[in-house]
Structure 1
Amino acid sequence: MTRVLVVDDDVRVAQTHRELVASVPGFEVVGEAHTAASALAEVGRLRPDLVLLDLYLPDAPGISVMRELRAADRDGGRDRNPVDFLVITAVRDIEQVRAALHGGAVHYLLKPFPLSALRDQLERYAVARRRLSGTGEATQSEVDRLFGLLRPASAHSLPKGLTAATSDLVARTLREAEGELSAAEVGRRTGVSRVTARRYLEHLCADGRAELRLRYGSAGRPEHRYRWAR
Structure 2
Amino acid sequence: MSALRVMILEDDPVTASVYEEYLRRLPGVKHVHTAGTRKAALLYLVGRWRVYADFGVDLLLVDMNLPDGHGLDVLRHLRSAGWAGGAVALTAASDRQVVRAAVALGMTHYLLKPFTFDEFAARVGGYRELSLRLGERGEVPDQEQLDRIFNHDSPRGTELPKGLTAETLTRVADALAASTGSAGTGSASTGSASTGALSATELGQLTGLSRVTARRYLEHLVETGRASRAPRHGTPGRPEVEYSTRQGGSR
Structure 2 residue aligned with 1:159: 158
User: Kindly tell me: are residues 201 and 28 of structure 1, through their superposed partners in 2, closer, same or farther at Cα, counting changes over 3 Å?
Assistant: farther
Structure 2 residue aligned with 1:67: 76
State how far apart, in whole Å, the 1-side matches of 2:224 and 2:99 are. Answer: 32
Unpaired runs of 5+ residues, structure 2, are 49-54, 177-188, 201-210, 228-242, 246-251
What's the offset of the Cα at 1:159?
2.0
What's the offset of the Cα at 1:123?
1.4
User: Kindly tell me: are residues 117 and 4 of structure 1, through their superposed partners in 2, closer, same or farther at Cα, counting changes over 3 Å?
Assistant: same
User: Kindly tell me: are residues 225 and 87 of structure 1, through their superposed partners in 2, closer, same or farther at Cα, counting changes over 3 Å?
Assistant: same
Structure 2 residue aligned with 1:144: 147
Q: Does 1:128 align with 2:141?
A: no
Q: Does 1:50 align with 2:51?
A: no
From 31, 34, 37, the equivalent of 2:33 is 31
Deviations 1:135-177 (A, max 9, x none): 222232221111127x9xxxxx9725x52357889x59x78x9
Equivalent pair of 2:86/2:127 in contact (CA under 8 Å): no
Structure 1 residue aligned with 2:17: 15
What's the offset of the Cα at 1:49?
0.5
From 3, 6, 27, the equivalent of 2:5 is 3
Unpaired runs of 5+ residues, structure 1, are 74-80, 152-156, 204-223
Structure 2 residue aligned with 1:225: 244
Q: Report the structure, 1 or 2, having the larger helix content.
A: 1
Q: Does 1:199 align with 2:208?
A: no
Q: Which runs of 4+ in 1 moved over 6 A?
A: 166-169, 189-192
State how far apart, in whole Å, the 1-side matches of 2:149 and 2:220 are. Answer: 26
Q: Cα RMSD (Å) of the superposition?
A: 3.5
State how far apart, in whole Å, the 2-side matches of 1:166 and 1:70 are. Answer: 32
- Identical columns (%): 30
Secondary structure of 2:124's counterpart equals helix
How many equivalent pairs are there?
186
Which amino acid in structure 1 is aligned with residue 67 of structure 2?
P
Equivalent pair of 1:158/1:164 in contact (CA under 8 Å): no
From 79, 88, 91, the equivalent of 2:93 is 91
Secondary structure of 1:164's counterpart equals coil
Which amino acid in structure 1 is aligned with residue 148 of structure 2?
R
Which amino acid in structure 2 is aligned with residue 120 of structure 1?
A
User: Kindly tell me: are residues 85 and 196 of structure 1, through their superposed partners in 2, closer, same or farther at Cα, counting changes over 3 Å?
Assistant: closer
Deviations 1:180-221 (A, max 9, x none): 426xx66xx9789x9865235738xxxxxxxxxxxxxxxxxx
Secondary structure of 1:9's counterpart equals coil
Equivalent pair of 2:24/2:31 in contact (CA under 8 Å): yes
User: Kindly tell me: are residues 37 and 137 of structure 1, through their superposed partners in 2, closer, same or farther at Cα, counting changes over 3 Å?
Assistant: same
Give the TM-score, by structure 2 length: 0.63
